[in-house]
Amino acid sequence: MEERTDLTSVSLPIIESDEALQPSSLLCILCTKVEHSATRNLLPVMGTPRLILCPDAPQYSVNTLWRARASLTLALASSRQSSAKSKCSLALFVKLSPDCKKTWTGFSKEALHDIINFIRLAVPSAVMVCLELWSVELVVLLSGLLPNPQLETSVLSISLNTISIVFMVPFGCGAAVSTRVSNELGAGRPQAARLAVRVVVFMAIAQGLVVGSTMVFVRKLWGYAYSNEEEVVNYVAVMMPILAASNIMDGVQCVLSGT
């Protein structure tokens, strides 16, 4: 197999360049992942127009290209620049939008009420999320120690990227049902909360079967979206049924775990 990069995945630390893999590259990837996660979770809650994200769309593409092909220093700088623009856009929206006039009344001592207990809960939670993300990235890095590192790393990266894509559906359902169940329980309607859980479990199983069947159906073609190497494509085709079965179980687990 040729000495070439078989894929460039946004969420995976595969970098082939004249420089060795350095800690700065991992930091760049982590910073972009954290920024994307925060933007994805906060903006829908605040009802921010999608226009705020438009200036950052080209920046994310440039970040991906630089991480895969260019200087690691430039990639890190690009990630921080994109993050700064997102935060400034969000701050301007909160400051200027009439929808937020009653949501921010300035700094107050009341905001620090019970802050110690909040920190005791927040810090372990943040560490737990970081360890979860780092463990996945570490598995990809360790796959480079296998006998055929280019093949193994490429197939593992494609598999992780694929399962991350299809996982977004049950992840969204889990976030929605978590809010719905909380509202129903708060309103004193446990039967309605139970019904919501049953409905979302049915939806998770249904989407798992539909998406899983699609994954099996396109298993011999999916690898070409990432690589032209026949060996990589064939190995991806072998992995797709396993990923399809995993998606069904992950979907049910996700909607039942809440957010």
Structural domains counted in the chain: 2
For residue 84, the enclosing domain spans 10-101
Q: Which residue has the higher pLDDT, 106 or 177?
A: 177
Report the share of the chain in percent with pLDDT over 90.
22
Q: For residue 57, what pLDDT band results from cuts at 50, 70 and 90?
A: low
Q: Are residues 97 and 147 in the same domain?
A: no
Residue 259 pLDDT grade (very low, low, confident, very high; cuts 50, 70, 90): low
Of residues 52 and 141, the one with the higher pLDDT is: 141
Q: pLDDT confidence of 21, banded at 50, 70, 90?
A: very low
Q: Decide if 63 is inside a domain.
A: yes
Judge whether residue 146 has pLDDT over 60. Answer: yes
Residue 145 is which amino acid?
A: L
Picking from 72, 101, 130, the residue at the C-terminal end of a domain is 101
Q: Are residues 155 and 60 in the same domain?
A: no
Higher pLDDT, 223 or 41: 223
In the block, residue with structure tokens 């630089």: 66
Same domain membership, residue 86 and residue 176: no
Q: Which residues of 8-35 are buried (b: 16+ CB within 10 A; e: fewer)?
A: bbbbbbbbebeeeeeeebbebbbbbeeb
Q: How far apart are CA 41 and CA 35, in angstroms?
A: 10
What is the rounded average pLDDT of the residues 59-84?
A: 59
Residues 84 and 158 in one domain: no
Whether residue 231 is found in the same domain as residue 166: yes
Answer yes or no: is pLDDT of 87 > 90.
no
35 versus 164: the higher-pLDDT residue is 164
Question: In this prediction, what percent of the chain has a pLDDT beyond 70?
Answer: 69
Whether 24 and 78 share a structural domain: yes
Per-residue 3-state assignment (H helix, E strand, C coil) for the chain? CCCCCCCCCCCCCCCCCCCCCCHHHHHHHHHHHHHHHHHHHHHHHHCCCHHHHHHHHHHHHHHHHHHHHCCHHHHHHHHHHHHHHHHHHHHHHHHHCHHHCCCCCCCCHHHHCCHHHHHHHHHHHHHHHHHHHHHHHHHHHHHHHCCCHHHHHHHHHHHHHHHHHHHHHHHHHHHHHHHHHHHHHHCCCHHHHHHHHHHHHHHHHHHHHHHHHHHHHCHHHHHHHCCCCHHHHHHHHHHHHHHHHHHHHHHHHHHHHCC
Q: Same domain, yes or no, for 156 and 96?
A: no
Please check whether residues 173 and 250 belong to one and the same domain. Answer: yes
Last residue of a domain, which of 101, 128, 158? Answer: 101
Question: In this structure, are 175 and 93 located in the same domain?
Answer: no
* pLDDT at 141 > cutoff 70: yes
Is 61 within the bounds of a domain?
yes
Tell me, yes or no, whether 94 and 24 share the same domain. yes
Residue 203 confidence (pLDDT)? 92
Q: Is the pLDDT of residue 54 over 60?
A: no
In a domain, 199, yes or no: yes
The average confidence (pLDDT) of the chain is 75
Residue identified by tokens 């930091």 is: 27
Whether residue 88 lies inside any domain: the answer is: yes
Q: Which residues contact 30 (CB under 8 A, 6 or more apart)?
A: 133, 134
Co-location of 174 and 85 in the same domain: no
Position 112 in a domain? no
**Is 188 among the domain residues?**
yes
Q: Which of 86, 101, 116 is the last residue of a domain?
A: 101
> What average pLDDT does the segment 150-155 reach?
86
pLDDT at 257: 82
